[in-house]
Structure 1
Amino acid sequence: MPEKVTWEQINRSGNKLLAPAYKSNGHVFTSGSVGSDPVTKEIPEDVAQQTENAILNLEHVLKHSGSSLDKVFKVLLFVSDGSFGPIVNEIYHKYFPHQPARSCIVVGFPNKKIKVELEAVAEYKELDPKL
Structure 2
Amino acid sequence: MKKVLTADAMAPAGPYSQAIIAGPTIYVSGQIPYDKDGNPVEGNIGDKTAACCNSIIAILKAAGSDISKVVKCNVFLDDMANFAEMNATYEKFFSHKPARSCVAVKQLPKGVPVEIECIALAG
* Fold-level similarity (TM above 0.5): yes
In the alignment, what sits opposite 2:3? 4
2:106 is the alignment partner of 1:119: no
TM-score normalised by the chain length of structure 1:
0.84
Answer 1 or 2: which has greater helix percent. 2
**Counterpart pick for 1:37 among 35, 38, 44:** 35
Question: Alignment partner of 1:55: what SS?
Answer: helix
Deviations 1:3-41 (A, max 9, x none): 222x3xx12533351111110121100111111133562
**CA–CA distance in 2 between the matches of 1:86 and 1:42?**
22
In structure 2, relative to structure 1, the CA distance for the partners of 1:110 and 1:24 (3 Å cut) is closer
- Give 1:102's aligned residue: 100
After superposition, the Cα gap between the structure-2 partners of 1:64 and 1:109, relative to the gap in structure 1 and judged at 3 Å, is same
Give the TM-score taking structure 2 as reference length. Answer: 0.89
Change (3 A) 1:79 1:24: same
Distance 1:124 1:16 in 2: 24
Secondary structure of the structure 2 residue equivalent to 1:31: strand
Unaligned runs of 5+ in 2: none
Separation of aligned partners in 1, 2:28 and 2:38: 22
Q: Percent identity?
A: 27
CA distance in 2, matches of 1:110, 1:14: 12
Instruction: Calculate the aligned-residue CA RMSD, in Å.
Output: 1.5
Mark the structure with the bigger radius of gyration. 1
